[in-house]
Amino acid sequence: MSGPTLLQVSRVTKVFDVSPPWSARVLARQPRLLLHAVDDVSFAIRRGETLGLVGESGCGKSTVARLIVGLYRLSSGTITYDGLDVGALAKGRGPRSLRRKLQMIFQDPYASLNPRWRVADIVAEPIRAQRLLRGNRSIRARVDALLTQVGLAAADGQKYPHQFSGGQRQRISIARALASEPEFLVCDEPTSALDVSVQAQVLNLMRDLQRQLGLTYLFISHNLAVVHHVADRVGVMYLGRIVELAGKATLFTRPRHPYTRMLLDAIPDLAMTGKSRVPVAGEVPNPLSPPSGCTFHPRCPYANDRCRTEVPALKRAPGDEGAADDIVACHAVEESRLDVTPRVVRMAEET
């Protein structure tokens, strides 16, 4: 059961300057090139819940993750964790306890572990950096307990990362993230590099750890079946913006935004054989030059003149009887031009 708000993201924007060198721009008389990787994003995560964040590659999911843990500096907006300013972390400030409470599990276990270090040293590094324990014997006992907790053996601490499979490496990454006794984990596609059978093992491990330790997750993925398995609420991102945010049951049975429907319709389903689906044409626009108005309008079959000129705001749909925080950014939904007939979801059995 989720509790009060733990993490609050308010109107967060991250802009990257991807311009050529100054001299080249002057000679070519070119303006600066600014990439809005995250554009005015807001959401809240309650203590003990899992918020899934989904969208196509390049939509800004991983940038949001790095902003939350302080790896990137905010261009504008605020992020607060239990009332504390997370933005201070990226500037080298902020209390040590805040950095300890926020940890991240990265996407690729083959790249996120130091190949020159033994596993015991990798897992022990946060303990030493945060000065949680003193004495090698105490630290070694804690490392052994963490490795056992994630389904490995204490003796595995003397091995190197290359001696493990992909699933085992991700378990090591989880053990390292848990070493500082965090309350909040940002999981950036932690199973995308793993086989399907191994994905299920890692996901079940993460759910068990959440129940045992009272963890809160931001779970980022492009796999809707995985998100359906782990998330309590789901946010859908497109070109740096959240276009829909709703409870899992609502989003998978009554998707409102046309982009959310496109993602769900892309999932293979034998029950839909022979049934018509609304096609969504086109490619993802260039993020350096996004469309005006609703950025999804070039691919949306419901777009009208308003969609091409006015940016839709995240708000509740008219007549919506769902939760108060079920919101969508779509003019067609606001004007009741879309049918939201409930659909049957079969992903839970498949997972």
Q: What is the 3-state secondary structure (H, E, C) of 139-180?
A: HHHHHHHHHHHCCCCHHHHHCCHHHCCHHHHHHHHHHHHHCC
If pLDDT is split at 50, 70 and 90, which confidence band does 97 have? confident
If pLDDT is split at 50, 70 and 90, which confidence band does 304 have? very high
In sequence order, what are the beta bridge partners of 219?
52, 187
Closest CA to 257 of 322, 326, 308: 326
In sequence order, what are the beta bridge partners of 236?
54, 244
Closest CA to 40 of 85, 9, 83, 81: 9
* 248 sits in which H/E element: helix 248-253
Closest CA to 332 of 239, 247, 267, 243: 243
State the Cα–Cα distance between residues 233 and 195, nearest whole angstrom: 25
* 235 sits in which H/E element: strand 233-238
Q: What is the mean pLDDT of residues 176-183?
A: 94
**Residues above pLDDT 70, as percent of the chain:** 89
- In the numeric block, which tokens belong to residue 164? 């493990």
State the Cα–Cα distance between residues 326 and 317, nearest whole angstrom: 8
What is the rounded average pLDDT for all residues in the chain?
87
- In the numeric block, which tokens belong to residue 217? 């997750």
Per-residue confidence (pLDDT) for residue 274, from 0 to 100? 62
- In the numeric block, which tokens belong to residue 81? 């964790």
Q: Is 207 helix (H, G, I), strand (E, B) or coil?
A: helix
- In the numeric block, which tokens belong to residue 343? 């659909």
Q: What is the mean pLDDT of residues 309-337?
A: 84
Residue 95 has pLDDT above 90, yes or no: no
**Residues above pLDDT 90, as percent of the chain:** 56
Residue 209 has pLDDT above 60, yes or no: yes
Sheet holding 5-17, edge to edge: 34-46, 5-17, 76-81, 84-85
* Cα within 13 Å of Cα(16), Cβ side: 12
- In the numeric block, which tokens belong to residue 212? 């045992």
CB of 104 within 8 A of CB of 69?
A: yes
Contact partners, residue 40, CB within 8 Å, separation at least 6: 11, 12, 13, 77, 241
Q: Domains of the chain, with CATH numbers?
A: 5-231 (3.40.50.300), 237-350 (3.40.50.300)
Residue 348 has pLDDT above 90, yes or no: no
CA dihedral 142, 189, 226, 205 (to 10 degrees): -10
Q: What is the mean pLDDT of residues 27-55?
A: 92
State the Cα–Cα distance between residues 57 and 192, nearest whole angstrom: 12
47 burial via Cβ count (<10 Å: 0-12, 13-18, 19+): middle
Predicted TM-score (pTM) of the model is: 0.88
* 88 sits in which H/E element: helix 87-90
